[in-house]
Structure 1
């Protein structure tokens, strides 16, 4: 057994990644403890918090670390500019686009030989679930929309946890005390072109296979939003009986086994 002064070959904590010049264009890369020879999948995870600066990636750090260990994968816990600190339309979206475009290469460089960049999954919770769905549907954006790409993202799919899957619906509900209007700069009647370029509910199915996980007692976003999104896009929906909005990022909740199973399905090795 190594002494405390001897290196173990594993990092003491997540590895810092910098995907842009702004202080919020960073991510923490969590790696599984095991030192196997096979590269592991990469999950690019967007935290929630109403797209607001009051909420940062630290509240999802425990979830990201636990997911890396439970699913034997690398998890990049992504920060991005948020409303109140330089974010909102279109900056939050362009940060999300820049993050998913750059982080696979940055992660493989930071952990040589440990990451399989052919098995990438976008994931996110709540407002971050919106960003994950949006990032995987950038090839469906209007021609002049910020972040648009011509080709679908080269990913296995999306794991969306209690996502804000319908921005117009969430705005009508007043979710997060007007969080959607703060994010996009108005309602769907005031800035319809922004909703057309940002709302997963109107963009269609994301690239790859998508799994939406939503609690039936979500107090922040109604499960009917997830059900409608799954119906219209043909994506898979896993409902957590009696699950709350935050159960889906709590490793100690009854939702955890559903989360790990869904991610395992997305990242499994294919011939």
Structure 2
């Protein structure tokens, strides 16, 4: 079962992955490969204006497995954020059941997609001092991991010499602690989700579990917004608050936002009750002023998120 897609979701009136996939979106301005595999690409969308534009790296979820979600699942959100004044880089990546995915491929793909923005910025007007990761569910975990990866030890397969810095992370129903998620996530994702992603248990591969979990690297050193619907089973309020408590204790700035009358997938729909909260969180971290008239606009800087 897809992460955050319990069998009762539709019956309760909440959105399902198929509903998100069916949302309309305008075509991307460019589809750019960051590797040789057919799944190593991203969709770039640019706002109106001359730039340079802040960038949201949009990362879809789906239990880290193929078949539950793809870049299409995040296209409507990426399109709406573009219309709000932020360039979006909606990335596809290999999941654990794709050839080359899992450990370490899934992580290396997302890292390569982020770092590819340096080359992309030589052709398009992007402001790489204002790059925010926006990830949903499993993609929320990967967005937090992007912020953490600069701390990974040099001997790890996931180590990076010069990772692209982030200005912040918006995790939409995304877990930051893989050991904790392993204790309850099988009910939503299927048996052994995290061991299958990492190739074994914590006892078998303690270094993998350490390096793959953002919680290992607190403080992340960038502001974070942990946002979910009040009926989200993947990241219910206690899980959001537990992450925020640990991150704040380590010195991070974290905001928790719980949206009423929403579950796990509403956060991906610009037509849902969650959209103003999602949009404003991204614009705030990216230091972009929200346009008052609802149209595309040239972005202007805002003050950073307060603790």
- The answer to whether the superposition gives a TM-score over 0.5 is yes
1:13-49 Cα offsets, whole Å, 9 max, x none, are: 43111111111110011222x2x23322111111101
Give the alignment of 1:122-201 within 5 angstroms: 122-149=133-160, 153-173=164-184, 174=186, 175-178=188-191, 179-201=193-215
Q: Which range moves more in the overlay, 46-55 or 173-182?
A: 173-182
Residue aligning to 2:294: none
- Conserved? CA contact 1:226–1:237, under 8 Å: yes
- Conserved? CA contact 1:96–1:131, under 8 Å: yes
1:56 pairs with one of 63, 70, 80: 70
Residue aligning to 1:14: 29
- Conserved? CA contact 1:166–1:225, under 8 Å: no
SS in 1 for 2:79: helix
SS in 2 for 1:139: helix
Structure 2 residues without counterparts, runs of 5 or longer: 1-25, 249-253, 288-300
- Conserved? CA contact 2:230–2:262, under 8 Å: yes
Q: Return structure 1 stretches of 4+ with deviation > 6 angstroms.
A: none
- 1:238 CA displacement: 1.4
1:113-153 Cα offsets, whole Å, 9 max, x none, are: x3222211112111011111001111222342223246674
Instruction: Count residues in correspondence.
Output: 255
Structure 2 distance, partners of 1:195, 1:180, is: 9
CA 1:181–1:134 in 2, change beyond 3 Å: closer, same or farther? same
1:119 pairs with one of 130, 133, 144: 130
Q: Which range moves more in the overlay, 56-65 or 96-105?
A: 96-105
Q: Does 1:75 align with 2:94?
A: no
Structure 1 residues without counterparts, runs of 5 or longer: 1-10
- Conserved? CA contact 1:137–1:152, under 8 Å: no
Q: Which range moves more in the overlay, 153-162 or 40-49?
A: 153-162
CA 1:103–1:37 in 2, change beyond 3 Å: closer, same or farther? closer
- Conserved? CA contact 1:60–1:77, under 8 Å: yes
- Conserved? CA contact 2:284–2:302, under 8 Å: no
- Conserved? CA contact 2:145–2:213, under 8 Å: yes
Q: Does 1:28 align with 2:6?
A: no
Superposed CA RMSD: 2.1
Structure 2 distance, partners of 1:212, 1:221, is: 9
- Conserved? CA contact 1:153–1:207, under 8 Å: no
Residue aligning to 1:100: 114
Structure 2 distance, partners of 1:58, 1:31, is: 17
Which has the larger helix fraction? 1
Residue aligning to 1:250: 269
